[in-house]
Amino acid sequence: MFEELIASWDGEQVVIHHDEPTSTWMLIGVHSTVLGPAMGGTRLTTYPTPADALEDVLRLSAAMTWKQAAADTPYGGGKAVLAVPEIPVPGSPERRALLRRYASLVESLHGTYVTAPDMNTGEADMDVIGEGTSYVLGRPVASGGAGDPGAATARGVFHGIEASVKHAFGSGDLTGRTVLVQGLGSVGARLCRHLEEAGASVSVADVNDGRAGALADELGATVVPADEAIGAPCDVLAPCATGKVVTEATIPRLRCRVIAGAANNQLGVPEDADRLRDAGILYAPDFVINAGGVIHLAGYETLGWDEATMAKRLEAIGDTLLDVYEVAEREGISTAAAADRMARARLDAAGGWTGP
């Protein structure tokens, strides 16, 4: 299984380390360094088998290559997975020891891979990793890092929704537009606040009923039960929870004009982008609209931007999407294909893409 996965992967390097004390598989996927060191978060989670973890890191690191290229950061694509038997308690000595050993692995790559927060890892974990390697982004601001990228991601998605609404309806004015936000965590909750401020009519859905209720009370939003979010009528559906929301099975049930949200890997399979196009639904490619997080990390920590520059670059996510929509229309292709083409052109211009 391991051999097949690696042989069929188009990336540059995969590092596999088994951490004896905790029986954790530490996997680092360096998919592409064409545009710079491979940068992407460290995911800390459990998997049914080590091969599932490997499959995830290979897929996620490739997605980061496209995201970094589309966002025009000075980074290539990478990702890491710590496949643990069970998730160690935040702040515990066991977690700290695991992260320090992982930091040594990152350090041994001498900067080929630069890590950052991802699922189940945050600022505090990056601080611990930072004790053992300088190849880490997203430490707390107090430690000299850029901090949690969730707010920047939400701001970027907000601009992406404005641009998508402009393309779909002829005006980016959100007043009275109905937007359903699915998933009200670090990104989704902040996005709801931006939308509400802009005059949109916001609906919220989360598997955590308490979270949905509290946010609805705060904003005067409408709660939609989590299992009804896909079929609920709205102008914009903003997936901000899990991936694979848009599939052959769900597309016929969608009753929105636009899909524009933060979740990674929103499409079940690439062909779903064509199905959305056939259904007349405008899709904001996930790796373009949710790039605020990597822009935040690269902009503040690597490029030394001030807040005004950051605000402009997050706003530019909307411009990038308008370009993508224009290419898609002109060429008669899906928006996902247009975004891929744009990212690939950046890779080609920087020295060539070696993948298929």
Which of 325, 21, 27 lies closest to 170 in space, CA to CA?
325
Per DSSP, 285 falls in state: -
With contacts defined by CB under 6 A, name the span among 68-76, 137-145, 234-242, 321-329 that binds ligand NAD. Answer: 234-242
Smallest gap from residue 188 Cβ to ligand NAD (A) = 5
208 binds ligand NAD (CB under 6 A): yes
Which of 35, 44, 41 lies closest to 264 in space, CA to CA?
41
Tokens of 213: 């209720």
Q: How many of the other CB atoms lie within 10 Å of CB of 191?
A: 29
With contacts defined by CB under 6 A, name the span among 163-171, 206-214, 303-311, 336-344 that binds ligand NAD. Answer: 206-214
333 Cβ neighbours under 8 A, 6+ residues apart: 327, 341
Angstrom distance (rounded) from CA 177 to CA 61: 35
Angstrom distance (rounded) from CA 224 to CA 232: 8
Smallest gap from residue 101 Cβ to ligand NAD (A) = 25
Identify residues 237-276 at the interface with ligand NAD (CB under 6 A).
240-242, 262-264
49 binds ligand NAD (CB under 6 A): no
Here the contacts of 121-125 (C-beta below 8 Å, separation 24 or greater) are 121/41, 121/42, 121/43, 121/44, 122/90, 122/148, 123/147, 123/148, 124/90, 124/91, 125/42, 125/44, 125/90, 125/95, 125/99
Angstrom distance (rounded) from CA 176 to CA 195: 10
Q: Kindly tell me which residue out of 51, 198, 226, 350 binds ligand NAD, with binding defined by CB under 6 A.
A: 226
318 binds ligand NAD (CB under 6 A): no
**How many chain residues touch ligand NAD (CB under 6 A)?**
24
Angstrom distance (rounded) from CA 55 to CA 52: 5
Q: Which is nearer to ligand NAD, 128 or 262 (CB)?
A: 262
Residues in the chain: 356
86 Cβ neighbours under 8 A, 6+ residues apart: 46
Q: Which is nearer to ligand NAD, 127 or 148 (CB)?
A: 148
User: What residues does 315 pair with on adjacent strands?
Assistant: none
Q: Which is nearer to ligand NAD, 121 or 290 (CB)?
A: 290
Smallest gap from residue 302 Cβ to ligand NAD (A) = 17
Q: Which is nearer to ligand NAD, 24 or 290 (CB)?
A: 290
Query: Minimal CB distance to ligand NAD: which residue?
Result: 185
Under a CB-based contact definition with an 8 Å cutoff, are residues 145 and 139 in contact? yes
Give me the amino acid identity at 312. Answer: K
* Strand ranges (E), 156-315: 178-182, 201-205, 222-223, 236-239, 258-259, 282-283
Identify residues 81-140 at the interface with ligand NAD (CB under 6 A).
none
Q: Which is nearer to ligand NAD, 20 or 227 (CB)?
A: 227
Q: What is the x/- site pattern for ligand NAD, positions 290-309, by CB under 6 A? A: x--x----------------
With contacts defined by CB under 6 A, name the span among 130-138, 202-210, 306-314, 330-338 that binds ligand NAD. Answer: 202-210
Under a CB-based contact definition with an 8 Å cutoff, are residues 13 and 33 in contact? no
46 binds ligand NAD (CB under 6 A): no
**Token pair 């977690």: residue:** 95
Catalytic residue status for 312: no
Angstrom distance (rounded) from CA 93 to CA 116: 21
187 binds ligand NAD (CB under 6 A): yes
Tokens of 208: 């955590």
Q: Kindly tell me which residue out of 28, 103, 161, 184 binds ligand NAD, with binding defined by CB under 6 A.
A: 184
153 binds ligand NAD (CB under 6 A): yes
Q: Kindly tell me which residue out of 96, 100, 193, 211 binds ligand NAD, with binding defined by CB under 6 A.
A: 211
Q: Which is nearer to ligand NAD, 43 or 101 (CB)?
A: 43
Q: Which of 67, 79, 244, 312 is catalytic?
A: 79
Applying CB under 6 A, the residues found at the interface with ligand NAD are: 149-150, 153, 182-188, 205-208, 211, 226, 240-242, 262-264, 290, 293
> Which amino acids are annotated catalytic?
79
